[in-house]
Amino acid sequence: MKLFEKTLESKSIFEGKVIHVMHDTVELENGEKAMREIVAHPGGVCVAALTEENELLFVRQFRYPYKEVTLELPAGKLEKGQNPLENGKRELLEETGAVGREYITLGKLYPSPGYCGEIIHLYFCKIDHFEKQHLDEDEFVSVERIPLDKAEEMVLNNEIPDSKTQVAILKTAAIVRKFNGK
């Protein structure tokens, strides 16, 4: 098996501020043709920021696609010309006012690989200090602190549906346990 699809044609369907939707014709490894609908996205970043009291910083915000308020770790889309870590530092400061130190990569996440090319870069850091929040004009969030153990429990009890937040919490908890020898 080659496990590869060759793009024969790519047609732009929609180009928005954040996403680009394409309709592609591909050739499968058996020579047959198939259609693929793709959402191109610049990618994102998510930061699990831990306080000295072993609490993670969260933001609550209204998420329009779901028509509900979600609890998430600080995150945002990648900006052109900046690397993911710099974006993560900027998002953490903008949304929570926190400045982190000792950043560790938690890897990357493909949130919906069947149709979307978004890659979310995950980071863990310890909070060094706080400054002023710098929310975007159209951004409204409330910041919360939740103990890491409680956040991990919330993930396991299906109280946090956001995938990037779930993965970052579980990886952070594993790292902290390993570092603390538990």
Mutual angle of helices 148-156 and 163-180, in 10-degree steps: 130
Query: Among the options 118, 137, 152, 159, which is catalytic?
Result: 137
55 is a catalytic site residue: no
* Residue burial 57-96, b: 16+ Cβ < 10 Å; e: rest: bbbeeeeeeeeeeebbbbbbebeeeeebeebbbbbbbbbb
Q: CA 129 → CA 50, 118, 126, 166, distances in Å?
A: 11, 31, 9, 25
Numbered ranges of CATH 3.90.79.10 in the chain: 44-180
pLDDT tens-digit series, residues 3-45: 999 999 999 999 999 999 999 999 999 999 999 999 999 999 9
The pTM is what?
0.93
CATH class of domain segment(s) 44-180: alpha beta
Q: Which two tokens stand for residue 79?
A: 């900006």
pLDDT tens by residue, 89-98: 999 999 999 9
pLDDT of residue 163: 97
